[in-house]
Chain A
Amino acid sequence: MIRIRELSKRLGSKQVLKDCDLDIESGETIVVLGPSGTGKSVLLKHIIGLMHPDLGSIEIEGENIVGMSEREINQVRKRFGMLFQGSALFDSMTVGENVGLSLREHTRMTDAEIARRVSERLEWVGLKDVEGMKPASLSGGMRKRAGLARAIAMDPQFILYDEPTTGLDPIMSDVINQLIRDLQRRMGVTSIVVTHDLISAYHVADRLAMLHGGKIVFSGTPDQVRATTDPMVRQFIEGSSTGPIQPV
Protein backbone atom coordinates (compact mmCIF):
# COMPACT_ATOMS: atom_id res chain seq x y z
CA MET A 1 0.00 0.00 0.00
CA ILE A 2 1.11 3.54 -0.72
CA ARG A 3 -0.04 6.27 1.64
CA ILE A 4 0.58 9.91 0.76
CA ARG A 5 -0.11 12.52 3.43
CA GLU A 6 -0.06 16.32 3.26
CA LEU A 7 2.42 16.32 0.40
CA SER A 8 3.46 19.83 -0.62
CA LYS A 9 5.88 20.94 -3.29
CA ARG A 10 6.69 24.38 -4.63
CA LEU A 11 8.59 24.73 -7.91
CA GLY A 12 9.82 28.30 -8.32
CA SER A 13 6.89 30.59 -7.66
CA LYS A 14 4.27 27.88 -8.30
CA GLN A 15 2.77 25.77 -5.52
CA VAL A 16 2.41 22.51 -7.47
CA LEU A 17 1.25 20.21 -4.67
CA LYS A 18 -0.43 21.45 -1.50
CA ASP A 19 -1.44 19.12 1.34
CA CYS A 20 -2.06 16.33 -1.13
CA ASP A 21 -3.47 13.11 0.41
CA LEU A 22 -3.88 9.83 -1.48
CA ASP A 23 -4.11 6.16 -0.53
CA ILE A 24 -3.31 3.47 -3.09
CA GLU A 25 -4.31 -0.06 -2.18
CA SER A 26 -2.14 -3.06 -3.07
CA GLY A 27 -3.04 -4.64 -6.39
CA GLU A 28 -5.28 -1.83 -7.60
CA THR A 29 -4.86 0.34 -10.67
CA ILE A 30 -5.43 3.94 -9.81
CA VAL A 31 -5.55 6.65 -12.45
CA VAL A 32 -4.63 10.19 -11.45
CA LEU A 33 -6.49 12.57 -13.72
CA GLY A 34 -6.12 16.26 -14.18
CA PRO A 35 -5.49 19.01 -16.68
CA SER A 36 -1.96 19.55 -18.01
CA GLY A 37 0.34 21.32 -15.57
CA THR A 38 -1.51 20.36 -12.39
CA GLY A 39 1.38 18.33 -10.96
CA LYS A 40 0.43 14.76 -11.90
CA SER A 41 3.94 13.87 -13.07
CA VAL A 42 5.40 15.70 -10.07
CA LEU A 43 3.28 13.49 -7.80
CA LEU A 44 4.52 10.38 -9.61
CA LYS A 45 8.15 11.48 -9.32
CA HIS A 46 7.70 12.00 -5.58
CA ILE A 47 6.38 8.44 -5.18
CA ILE A 48 9.58 6.99 -6.65
CA GLY A 49 11.83 9.50 -4.88
CA LEU A 50 12.95 11.40 -7.99
CA MET A 51 11.72 14.59 -6.35
CA HIS A 52 11.78 15.55 -2.69
CA PRO A 53 8.73 17.20 -1.13
CA ASP A 54 8.84 20.41 0.89
CA LEU A 55 6.42 18.88 3.40
CA GLY A 56 4.47 15.68 3.91
CA SER A 57 5.11 11.95 3.87
CA ILE A 58 4.99 9.08 1.39
CA GLU A 59 4.74 5.63 2.93
CA ILE A 60 5.50 2.61 0.76
CA GLU A 61 4.29 -0.52 2.61
CA GLY A 62 4.54 1.43 5.87
CA GLU A 63 8.01 2.84 5.19
CA ASN A 64 8.28 6.63 4.86
CA ILE A 65 10.61 7.36 1.95
CA VAL A 66 10.82 11.11 2.65
CA GLY A 67 14.25 11.87 4.08
CA MET A 68 15.70 8.50 3.15
CA SER A 69 19.31 8.40 1.96
CA GLU A 70 20.00 7.64 -1.72
CA ARG A 71 21.14 4.15 -0.76
CA GLU A 72 17.95 3.45 1.20
CA ILE A 73 15.67 4.84 -1.48
CA ASN A 74 17.42 2.74 -4.13
CA GLN A 75 16.28 -0.37 -2.24
CA VAL A 76 12.70 0.93 -2.45
CA ARG A 77 13.08 1.84 -6.14
CA LYS A 78 13.99 -1.74 -7.00
CA ARG A 79 10.38 -2.64 -6.19
CA PHE A 80 9.14 -0.12 -8.78
CA GLY A 81 8.98 0.01 -12.53
CA MET A 82 8.29 3.27 -14.31
CA LEU A 83 7.13 4.03 -17.83
CA PHE A 84 8.11 7.59 -18.71
CA GLN A 85 6.06 9.90 -20.92
CA GLY A 86 8.63 9.86 -23.73
CA SER A 87 9.66 6.28 -22.86
CA ALA A 88 13.14 7.56 -21.82
CA LEU A 89 14.87 4.65 -23.52
CA PHE A 90 18.66 5.02 -23.52
CA ASP A 91 19.60 6.10 -27.06
CA SER A 92 23.10 4.68 -26.89
CA MET A 93 21.86 1.15 -26.09
CA THR A 94 19.91 -1.41 -28.05
CA VAL A 95 16.37 -2.29 -26.97
CA GLY A 96 17.67 -5.52 -25.45
CA GLU A 97 20.33 -3.68 -23.45
CA ASN A 98 17.70 -1.20 -22.26
CA VAL A 99 15.39 -3.92 -21.01
CA GLY A 100 18.22 -5.94 -19.46
CA LEU A 101 20.01 -3.02 -17.77
CA SER A 102 18.42 -3.40 -14.32
CA LEU A 103 19.02 -7.14 -14.39
CA ARG A 104 22.67 -6.61 -15.28
CA GLU A 105 23.12 -3.98 -12.57
CA HIS A 106 21.12 -5.51 -9.72
CA THR A 107 21.12 -9.29 -10.14
CA ARG A 108 23.66 -12.06 -10.56
CA MET A 109 21.87 -13.45 -13.62
CA THR A 110 24.08 -14.77 -16.42
CA ASP A 111 24.03 -13.20 -19.89
CA ALA A 112 21.94 -16.11 -21.17
CA GLU A 113 19.40 -15.75 -18.35
CA ILE A 114 19.19 -12.00 -18.97
CA ALA A 115 18.68 -12.58 -22.70
CA ARG A 116 15.86 -15.04 -21.94
CA ARG A 117 14.16 -12.63 -19.53
CA VAL A 118 14.52 -9.76 -22.00
CA SER A 119 12.92 -11.79 -24.81
CA GLU A 120 10.13 -12.91 -22.47
CA ARG A 121 9.29 -9.36 -21.31
CA LEU A 122 9.43 -8.01 -24.85
CA GLU A 123 7.08 -10.77 -25.89
CA TRP A 124 4.70 -9.88 -23.05
CA VAL A 125 4.38 -6.38 -24.52
CA GLY A 126 3.99 -7.71 -28.05
CA LEU A 127 7.49 -7.06 -29.38
CA LYS A 128 9.54 -9.73 -31.10
CA ASP A 129 13.04 -9.72 -32.55
CA VAL A 130 13.72 -6.10 -31.62
CA GLU A 131 16.48 -6.78 -29.09
CA GLY A 132 19.24 -5.62 -31.44
CA MET A 133 17.46 -2.50 -32.65
CA LYS A 134 18.26 1.01 -31.46
CA PRO A 135 15.37 3.00 -29.89
CA ALA A 136 15.66 5.62 -32.64
CA SER A 137 14.52 3.07 -35.21
CA LEU A 138 11.31 2.19 -33.31
CA SER A 139 7.89 3.77 -33.82
CA GLY A 140 6.23 5.70 -30.96
CA GLY A 141 4.09 2.74 -29.93
CA MET A 142 7.03 0.34 -30.04
CA ARG A 143 9.08 2.70 -27.91
CA LYS A 144 6.30 2.82 -25.30
CA ARG A 145 6.09 -0.96 -25.26
CA ALA A 146 9.87 -1.32 -25.05
CA GLY A 147 9.81 1.16 -22.15
CA LEU A 148 7.12 -0.93 -20.51
CA ALA A 149 9.18 -4.11 -21.02
CA ARG A 150 12.07 -2.35 -19.29
CA ALA A 151 9.78 -1.28 -16.44
CA ILE A 152 8.65 -4.87 -15.78
CA ALA A 153 12.03 -6.58 -16.26
CA MET A 154 12.68 -6.83 -12.51
CA ASP A 155 9.19 -8.14 -11.60
CA PRO A 156 8.21 -4.93 -9.82
CA GLN A 157 5.59 -4.70 -7.13
CA PHE A 158 4.49 -1.24 -8.32
CA ILE A 159 4.36 0.19 -11.83
CA LEU A 160 4.12 3.92 -12.46
CA TYR A 161 2.85 5.10 -15.83
CA ASP A 162 3.44 8.73 -16.82
CA GLU A 163 1.00 9.63 -19.63
CA PRO A 164 1.25 6.17 -21.24
CA THR A 165 -0.93 6.96 -24.25
CA THR A 166 0.17 10.52 -24.99
CA GLY A 167 1.24 10.95 -28.61
CA LEU A 168 -0.13 7.58 -29.75
CA ASP A 169 -2.86 6.92 -32.29
CA PRO A 170 -6.17 5.55 -30.89
CA ILE A 171 -5.41 1.97 -31.88
CA MET A 172 -1.96 1.98 -30.30
CA SER A 173 -3.43 3.70 -27.23
CA ASP A 174 -5.84 0.79 -26.89
CA VAL A 175 -2.94 -1.66 -27.20
CA ILE A 176 -1.18 0.12 -24.33
CA ASN A 177 -4.39 0.17 -22.25
CA GLN A 178 -4.80 -3.58 -22.79
CA LEU A 179 -1.19 -4.12 -21.75
CA ILE A 180 -1.69 -2.18 -18.53
CA ARG A 181 -4.69 -4.40 -17.67
CA ASP A 182 -2.91 -7.59 -18.76
CA LEU A 183 0.17 -6.81 -16.67
CA GLN A 184 -1.94 -6.05 -13.63
CA ARG A 185 -3.67 -9.44 -13.99
CA ARG A 186 -0.51 -11.36 -14.85
CA MET A 187 1.82 -9.84 -12.25
CA GLY A 188 -0.65 -8.67 -9.60
CA VAL A 189 1.08 -5.30 -9.49
CA THR A 190 -0.14 -2.04 -8.02
CA SER A 191 -0.36 0.45 -10.86
CA ILE A 192 -0.47 4.23 -10.74
CA VAL A 193 -1.34 5.83 -14.05
CA VAL A 194 -1.09 9.54 -14.62
CA THR A 195 -3.01 10.75 -17.65
CA HIS A 196 -5.44 13.27 -19.05
CA ASP A 197 -6.70 10.71 -21.60
CA LEU A 198 -10.20 9.85 -20.35
CA ILE A 199 -10.69 6.87 -22.69
CA SER A 200 -7.51 5.34 -21.34
CA ALA A 201 -8.46 6.23 -17.78
CA TYR A 202 -11.88 4.51 -17.94
CA HIS A 203 -10.30 1.50 -19.62
CA VAL A 204 -7.55 0.75 -17.10
CA ALA A 205 -8.75 2.21 -13.80
CA ASP A 206 -10.09 0.40 -10.77
CA ARG A 207 -10.28 3.85 -9.23
CA LEU A 208 -9.82 7.39 -10.50
CA ALA A 209 -8.50 10.33 -8.55
CA MET A 210 -8.60 13.89 -9.78
CA LEU A 211 -5.76 16.28 -8.99
CA HIS A 212 -6.52 19.98 -9.00
CA GLY A 213 -5.04 22.92 -7.12
CA GLY A 214 -2.28 20.72 -5.76
CA LYS A 215 -4.55 18.21 -4.05
CA ILE A 216 -6.81 15.27 -4.80
CA VAL A 217 -10.30 16.77 -5.13
CA PHE A 218 -12.19 13.62 -6.07
CA SER A 219 -11.67 9.87 -5.88
CA GLY A 220 -13.99 7.09 -7.03
CA THR A 221 -14.64 4.21 -9.38
CA PRO A 222 -15.14 4.88 -13.13
CA ASP A 223 -18.92 4.56 -12.61
CA GLN A 224 -18.83 7.05 -9.73
CA VAL A 225 -16.88 9.47 -11.93
CA ARG A 226 -19.42 9.17 -14.74
CA ALA A 227 -22.28 9.79 -12.28
CA THR A 228 -20.74 12.55 -10.20
CA THR A 229 -22.19 16.06 -10.06
CA ASP A 230 -18.90 17.54 -8.79
CA PRO A 231 -18.48 20.60 -11.04
CA MET A 232 -14.70 20.22 -11.41
CA VAL A 233 -14.89 16.57 -12.42
CA ARG A 234 -17.83 17.26 -14.73
CA GLN A 235 -15.98 20.09 -16.43
CA PHE A 236 -12.95 17.87 -16.95
CA ILE A 237 -14.80 14.83 -18.29
CA GLU A 238 -16.99 16.99 -20.52
CA GLY A 239 -13.92 18.83 -21.78
CA SER A 240 -15.42 22.24 -21.18
CA SER A 241 -13.29 25.40 -21.09
CA THR A 242 -15.78 27.14 -18.78
CA GLY A 243 -16.18 26.15 -15.15
CA PRO A 244 -14.22 26.10 -11.91
CA ILE A 245 -11.03 24.85 -13.64
CA GLN A 246 -9.33 27.81 -15.28
CA PRO A 247 -7.26 26.86 -18.34
CA VAL A 248 -3.57 27.64 -17.75
Chain B
Amino acid sequence: MAAEDLALRGFEYIRRRAFDWVADVGRVAMLLGDVCRFLVPGLRSMRLVVAQMEAIGVGSLWLVFVISLFTGAVAAVQAAYQFSNVVPLKYIGSVILRSVIIELGPVLTALVVGGRVGASIAAELGTMSVTEQIDALRAMAINPVRYLVVPRVVAAIIMMPVLTIFADAIAVFGGYVVSVTSIGVSTHTYVSALKQYFYYKDLFSGLLKAGFFGGIIGLMGCYHGFSTEGGAEGVGQATTRAVVAACVLVLISDYVLANVLFRFIFAS
Protein backbone atom coordinates (compact mmCIF):
# COMPACT_ATOMS: atom_id res chain seq x y z
CA MET B 1 0.00 0.00 0.00
CA ALA B 2 2.81 2.37 0.95
CA ALA B 3 4.68 1.54 -2.26
CA GLU B 4 1.52 2.11 -4.27
CA ASP B 5 0.98 5.45 -2.58
CA LEU B 6 4.59 6.44 -3.21
CA ALA B 7 4.29 5.47 -6.88
CA LEU B 8 1.06 7.47 -7.21
CA ARG B 9 2.65 10.52 -5.63
CA GLY B 10 5.69 10.13 -7.87
CA PHE B 11 3.46 9.88 -10.93
CA GLU B 12 1.50 12.95 -9.80
CA TYR B 13 4.74 14.90 -9.32
CA ILE B 14 5.98 13.98 -12.80
CA ARG B 15 2.60 14.80 -14.33
CA ARG B 16 2.57 18.23 -12.64
CA ARG B 17 6.14 19.01 -13.67
CA ALA B 18 5.38 17.96 -17.25
CA PHE B 19 2.31 20.23 -17.34
CA ASP B 20 4.34 23.11 -15.90
CA TRP B 21 7.04 22.55 -18.49
CA VAL B 22 4.56 22.48 -21.38
CA ALA B 23 2.86 25.61 -19.99
CA ASP B 24 6.27 27.34 -19.75
CA VAL B 25 7.08 26.43 -23.35
CA GLY B 26 3.72 27.81 -24.46
CA ARG B 27 4.17 31.07 -22.53
CA VAL B 28 7.72 31.55 -23.89
CA ALA B 29 6.37 30.98 -27.40
CA MET B 30 3.65 33.59 -26.77
CA LEU B 31 6.24 36.06 -25.46
CA LEU B 32 8.38 35.42 -28.54
CA GLY B 33 5.30 36.06 -30.69
CA ASP B 34 4.71 39.35 -28.85
CA VAL B 35 8.36 40.32 -29.34
CA CYS B 36 7.97 39.77 -33.10
CA ARG B 37 4.65 41.68 -33.08
CA PHE B 38 6.10 44.68 -31.24
CA LEU B 39 9.53 44.56 -32.92
CA VAL B 40 8.98 47.50 -35.25
CA PRO B 41 7.23 49.77 -32.68
CA GLY B 42 9.85 48.75 -30.10
CA LEU B 43 12.70 49.73 -32.40
CA ARG B 44 11.29 53.23 -32.77
CA SER B 45 12.63 53.93 -29.29
CA MET B 46 16.25 53.32 -30.31
CA ARG B 47 17.54 55.08 -27.19
CA LEU B 48 16.12 52.19 -25.13
CA VAL B 49 17.91 49.64 -27.32
CA VAL B 50 21.17 51.61 -27.17
CA ALA B 51 20.92 51.85 -23.37
CA GLN B 52 20.49 48.08 -23.16
CA MET B 53 23.34 47.49 -25.64
CA GLU B 54 25.56 49.50 -23.33
CA ALA B 55 24.39 47.60 -20.24
CA ILE B 56 24.77 44.19 -21.90
CA GLY B 57 27.85 44.83 -24.04
CA VAL B 58 30.03 47.38 -22.32
CA GLY B 59 29.09 46.03 -18.91
CA SER B 60 30.25 42.53 -19.87
CA LEU B 61 33.56 43.51 -21.55
CA TRP B 62 35.83 43.03 -18.54
CA LEU B 63 34.32 39.65 -17.67
CA VAL B 64 34.56 38.45 -21.27
CA PHE B 65 38.15 39.69 -21.45
CA VAL B 66 39.22 37.64 -18.42
CA ILE B 67 37.48 34.38 -19.40
CA SER B 68 38.63 34.65 -23.02
CA LEU B 69 42.25 35.33 -22.14
CA PHE B 70 42.41 32.25 -19.93
CA THR B 71 40.37 30.14 -22.34
CA GLY B 72 42.94 30.83 -25.06
CA ALA B 73 45.77 30.19 -22.63
CA VAL B 74 44.31 26.86 -21.49
CA ALA B 75 43.59 25.87 -25.09
CA ALA B 76 47.29 26.39 -25.88
CA VAL B 77 48.45 24.31 -22.93
CA GLN B 78 45.98 21.50 -23.70
CA ALA B 79 46.81 21.52 -27.41
CA ALA B 80 50.55 21.31 -26.69
CA TYR B 81 49.93 18.39 -24.32
CA GLN B 82 47.75 16.50 -26.80
CA PHE B 83 50.02 17.27 -29.78
CA SER B 84 53.11 15.84 -28.05
CA ASN B 85 54.75 13.32 -30.38
CA VAL B 86 51.61 13.17 -32.55
CA VAL B 87 51.06 16.53 -34.28
CA PRO B 88 53.71 19.18 -35.04
CA LEU B 89 53.42 22.25 -32.79
CA LYS B 90 53.30 24.54 -35.81
CA TYR B 91 49.58 23.76 -36.04
CA ILE B 92 48.87 25.01 -32.55
CA GLY B 93 47.66 28.43 -33.78
CA SER B 94 45.18 26.88 -36.19
CA VAL B 95 43.72 24.57 -33.54
CA ILE B 96 43.30 27.41 -31.08
CA LEU B 97 41.80 29.69 -33.74
CA ARG B 98 39.26 27.21 -35.05
CA SER B 99 38.20 25.85 -31.68
CA VAL B 100 37.81 29.40 -30.38
CA ILE B 101 35.85 30.97 -33.23
CA ILE B 102 33.62 27.95 -33.90
CA GLU B 103 32.91 26.79 -30.38
CA LEU B 104 34.69 28.18 -27.35
CA GLY B 105 34.21 31.88 -28.14
CA PRO B 106 30.44 31.84 -28.75
CA VAL B 107 29.54 29.21 -26.16
CA LEU B 108 31.70 30.38 -23.25
CA THR B 109 30.77 34.00 -23.93
CA ALA B 110 27.09 32.99 -23.97
CA LEU B 111 27.39 31.07 -20.71
CA VAL B 112 29.17 33.92 -18.95
CA VAL B 113 26.96 36.65 -20.42
CA GLY B 114 23.94 34.42 -19.82
CA GLY B 115 24.83 34.30 -16.14
CA ARG B 116 25.49 38.00 -15.83
CA VAL B 117 22.91 39.50 -18.18
CA GLY B 118 20.21 36.86 -17.78
CA ALA B 119 20.33 37.30 -14.02
CA SER B 120 20.40 41.08 -14.29
CA ILE B 121 17.39 41.22 -16.65
CA ALA B 122 15.37 38.73 -14.59
CA ALA B 123 16.16 40.53 -11.33
CA GLU B 124 15.31 43.95 -12.76
CA LEU B 125 12.05 42.90 -14.40
CA GLY B 126 11.19 40.65 -11.45
CA THR B 127 11.57 43.56 -9.04
CA MET B 128 9.50 45.72 -11.39
CA SER B 129 6.85 43.01 -11.43
CA VAL B 130 6.54 42.60 -7.65
CA THR B 131 6.61 46.36 -7.02
CA GLU B 132 3.78 46.96 -9.53
CA GLN B 133 6.01 48.90 -11.92
CA ILE B 134 4.93 46.70 -14.82
CA ASP B 135 1.29 47.28 -13.86
CA ALA B 136 2.11 51.00 -13.77
CA LEU B 137 3.44 50.83 -17.33
CA ARG B 138 0.27 49.08 -18.50
CA ALA B 139 -1.87 51.59 -16.60
CA MET B 140 -0.04 54.32 -18.54
CA ALA B 141 -1.05 52.57 -21.80
CA ILE B 142 2.55 51.54 -22.48
CA ASN B 143 2.95 47.95 -23.61
CA PRO B 144 5.60 46.29 -21.37
CA VAL B 145 6.73 43.92 -24.13
CA ARG B 146 7.39 46.83 -26.48
CA TYR B 147 8.98 49.00 -23.81
CA LEU B 148 10.95 46.45 -21.77
CA VAL B 149 11.33 43.15 -23.64
CA VAL B 150 12.00 44.20 -27.25
CA PRO B 151 14.94 46.51 -26.38
CA ARG B 152 16.56 43.86 -24.17
CA VAL B 153 16.15 40.97 -26.61
CA VAL B 154 17.30 43.05 -29.60
CA ALA B 155 20.27 44.46 -27.66
CA ALA B 156 21.29 40.94 -26.59
CA ILE B 157 21.03 39.65 -30.18
CA ILE B 158 23.21 42.54 -31.44
CA MET B 159 25.74 42.57 -28.62
CA MET B 160 26.44 38.84 -28.31
CA PRO B 161 28.20 38.61 -31.72
CA VAL B 162 30.12 41.81 -30.89
CA LEU B 163 31.24 40.35 -27.56
CA THR B 164 32.06 37.07 -29.29
CA ILE B 165 34.38 38.80 -31.81
CA PHE B 166 36.07 40.48 -28.87
CA ALA B 167 36.28 37.15 -27.01
CA ASP B 168 37.70 35.39 -30.09
CA ALA B 169 40.43 38.01 -30.47
CA ILE B 170 41.38 37.93 -26.79
CA ALA B 171 41.39 34.12 -26.66
CA VAL B 172 43.60 33.85 -29.73
CA PHE B 173 45.88 36.43 -28.12
CA GLY B 174 45.91 34.44 -24.84
CA GLY B 175 46.83 31.32 -26.81
CA TYR B 176 49.57 33.26 -28.58
CA VAL B 177 51.12 34.49 -25.32
CA VAL B 178 51.29 30.97 -23.85
CA SER B 179 52.45 29.39 -27.12
CA VAL B 180 55.31 31.86 -27.51
CA THR B 181 56.37 32.20 -23.89
CA SER B 182 56.10 28.65 -22.55
CA ILE B 183 55.62 26.20 -25.42
CA GLY B 184 58.37 27.47 -27.68
CA VAL B 185 56.37 28.32 -30.80
CA SER B 186 57.61 31.39 -32.67
CA THR B 187 55.39 34.37 -33.44
CA HIS B 188 55.83 33.73 -37.17
CA THR B 189 54.74 30.08 -36.85
CA TYR B 190 51.69 30.95 -34.73
CA VAL B 191 50.54 33.77 -37.02
CA SER B 192 51.16 31.72 -40.18
CA ALA B 193 48.91 28.96 -38.83
CA LEU B 194 46.23 31.50 -38.02
CA LYS B 195 46.32 32.90 -41.56
CA GLN B 196 46.47 29.52 -43.24
CA TYR B 197 43.51 28.01 -41.44
CA PHE B 198 41.19 30.97 -41.05
CA TYR B 199 37.86 30.42 -42.84
CA TYR B 200 35.11 32.99 -43.02
CA LYS B 201 32.48 30.26 -42.69
CA ASP B 202 33.90 29.39 -39.26
CA LEU B 203 33.66 33.00 -38.13
CA PHE B 204 30.20 33.39 -39.65
CA SER B 205 28.87 30.23 -37.99
CA GLY B 206 30.28 31.32 -34.62
CA LEU B 207 28.69 34.75 -34.88
CA LEU B 208 25.38 33.30 -36.05
CA LYS B 209 25.35 31.06 -33.00
CA ALA B 210 26.24 34.02 -30.79
CA GLY B 211 23.28 36.03 -32.08
CA PHE B 212 20.99 33.07 -31.49
CA PHE B 213 22.34 32.64 -27.96
CA GLY B 214 21.80 36.36 -27.36
CA GLY B 215 18.14 35.96 -28.24
CA ILE B 216 17.84 33.02 -25.82
CA ILE B 217 19.52 34.93 -22.97
CA GLY B 218 17.36 38.03 -23.48
CA LEU B 219 14.14 36.07 -23.82
CA MET B 220 14.78 33.87 -20.78
CA GLY B 221 15.70 36.85 -18.62
CA CYS B 222 12.55 38.71 -19.64
CA TYR B 223 10.24 35.69 -19.40
CA HIS B 224 11.34 34.70 -15.91
CA GLY B 225 11.42 38.35 -14.80
CA PHE B 226 7.85 38.90 -16.01
CA SER B 227 6.57 35.73 -14.34
CA THR B 228 8.01 36.65 -10.93
CA GLU B 229 5.60 36.34 -8.03
CA GLY B 230 5.99 37.11 -4.35
CA GLY B 231 8.67 39.35 -2.91
CA ALA B 232 12.44 39.13 -2.67
CA GLU B 233 12.31 35.32 -2.58
CA GLY B 234 10.38 35.28 -5.86
CA VAL B 235 12.94 37.59 -7.48
CA GLY B 236 15.75 35.29 -6.34
CA GLN B 237 13.99 32.22 -7.73
CA ALA B 238 13.22 33.96 -11.03
CA THR B 239 16.86 34.98 -11.37
CA THR B 240 18.07 31.43 -10.78
CA ARG B 241 15.52 30.01 -13.23
CA ALA B 242 16.51 32.55 -15.89
CA VAL B 243 20.21 31.69 -15.65
CA VAL B 244 19.65 27.93 -15.57
CA ALA B 245 17.20 28.05 -18.49
CA ALA B 246 19.50 30.30 -20.54
CA CYS B 247 22.56 28.09 -19.97
CA VAL B 248 20.73 24.83 -20.69
CA LEU B 249 19.08 26.22 -23.83
CA VAL B 250 22.40 27.65 -25.04
CA LEU B 251 24.03 24.21 -24.84
CA ILE B 252 21.07 22.39 -26.40
CA SER B 253 20.74 24.90 -29.23
CA ASP B 254 24.53 24.77 -29.73
CA TYR B 255 24.21 21.09 -30.57
CA VAL B 256 21.28 21.71 -32.91
CA LEU B 257 23.01 24.62 -34.63
CA ALA B 258 26.28 22.67 -34.93
CA ASN B 259 24.39 19.93 -36.78
CA VAL B 260 22.54 22.38 -39.03
CA LEU B 261 25.62 24.48 -39.82
CA PHE B 262 28.36 21.88 -40.17
CA ARG B 263 26.45 18.86 -41.47
CA PHE B 264 24.17 20.67 -43.90
CA ILE B 265 24.95 24.33 -44.64
CA PHE B 266 28.79 24.24 -44.48
CA ALA B 267 29.13 20.49 -45.06
CA SER B 268 31.35 20.76 -48.12
Task: Identify which of A29-37, A98-106, A199-207, A231-239 touches chain B.
Answer: A98-106
Q: Inside 8 A of A90's CB, which chain B residues have their CB?
A: 128, 133, 136
Residue contact B138 to A50, C-beta cutoff 8 Å: yes
Q: Inside 8 A of B124's CB, which chain A residues have their CB?
A: 92
Residue contact A101 to B142, C-beta cutoff 8 Å: yes
Given A82-B136, A88-B136 in contact, is the A74-B131 Cβ separation under 8 Å? no
Q: A70's contact among B127, B133, B139, B143, by CB below 8 Å, is which?
A: B143
Q: Give the number of chain A interface residues (Cβ < 8 Å).
A: 24
Residue contact A86 to B140, C-beta cutoff 8 Å: no
Residue contact A77 to B141, C-beta cutoff 8 Å: yes
Q: Kindly state whether residue A85 has any CB partner on chain B within 8 Å.
A: yes
Q: Inside 8 A of A75's CB, which chain B residues have their CB?
A: 141
Max chain A Cβ within 10 angstroms of own Cβ: one of B124, B131, B136, B138? B136
Q: B127's contact among A49, A77, A78, A91, by CB below 8 Å, is which?
A: A91
Residue contact B136 to A77, C-beta cutoff 8 Å: no
Q: How far is the CB of B51 from chain A (nearest CB, A)?
A: 9
Smallest CB gap from B127: residue in A:
A91
Q: Kindly state whether residue A149 has any CB partner on chain B within 8 Å.
A: no
Q: How far is the CB of B149 from chain A (nearest CB, A)?
A: 14
Q: Inside 8 A of B141's CB, which chain A residues have their CB?
A: 74-75, 77-78, 102, 105-106
Given A91-B127, A92-B124 in contact, is the A105-B132 Cβ separation under 8 Å? no
Q: Kindly state whether residue A161 has any CB partner on chain B within 8 Å.
A: no
Q: How far is the CB of A27 from chain B (nearest CB, A)?
A: 21
- Which B residues, 105 to 157, have Cβ-Cβ distances below 8 Å to chain A? 124, 127-128, 131-133, 135-136, 138-143, 147
Q: How far is the CB of B50 from chain A (nearest CB, A)?
A: 14
Max chain B Cβ within 10 angstroms of own Cβ: one of A82, A84, A88? A88
Residue contact B136 to A105, C-beta cutoff 8 Å: no
Q: Inside 8 A of A45's CB, which chain B residues have their CB?
A: 135
CA distance A150 to B132 in the complex (A): 15
Residue contact B140 to A102, C-beta cutoff 8 Å: yes
Max chain A Cβ within 10 angstroms of own Cβ: one of B124, B127, B128, B140? B140
Max chain A Cβ within 10 angstroms of own Cβ: one of B133, B141, B143, B147? B141
Residue contact B142 to A88, C-beta cutoff 8 Å: no
A30-64, CB under 8 A of B: which get 1 and which 0?
00000000000000010011100000000000000
- Which A residues, 86 to 142, have Cβ-Cβ distances below 8 Å to chain B? 86, 88-92, 101-102, 105-106
Q: Inside 8 A of A70's CB, which chain B residues have their CB?
A: 143
CA distance A49 to B124 in the complex (A): 24
CA distance A82 to B141 in the complex (A): 11
Residue contact A77 to B140, C-beta cutoff 8 Å: yes
Q: A88's contact among B131, B143, B147, by CB below 8 Å, is which?
A: B131
CA distance A91 to B133 in the complex (A): 9
Q: Inside 8 A of B131's CB, which chain A residues have their CB?
A: 86, 88
Q: Inside 8 A of B136's CB, which chain A residues have their CB?
A: 82, 84, 88-90
CA distance A90 to B48 in the complex (A): 14
Given A91-B127, A92-B124 in contact, is the A84-B140 Cβ separation under 8 Å? no
A71-83, CB under 8 A of B: which get 1 and which 0?
0001101101010
Given A86-B132, A88-B132 in contact, is the A105-B139 Cβ separation under 8 Å? no
5 smallest CB-CB distances across A and B, nearest first, come from A88-B136, A74-B141, A77-B141, A88-B132, A82-B139
A-B contact pairs, 25 of them (CB 8 A): A48-B139, A49-B138, A50-B135, A50-B138, A50-B139, A70-B143, A74-B141, A78-B141, A80-B139, A82-B136, A82-B139, A85-B132, A86-B131, A86-B132, A88-B131, A88-B133, A88-B136, A89-B133, A89-B136, A90-B136, A91-B128, A92-B124, A102-B141, A102-B142, A105-B147
User: Chain B: residues with CB nearer than 8 A to chain A?
Assistant: 124, 127-128, 131-133, 135-136, 138-143, 147
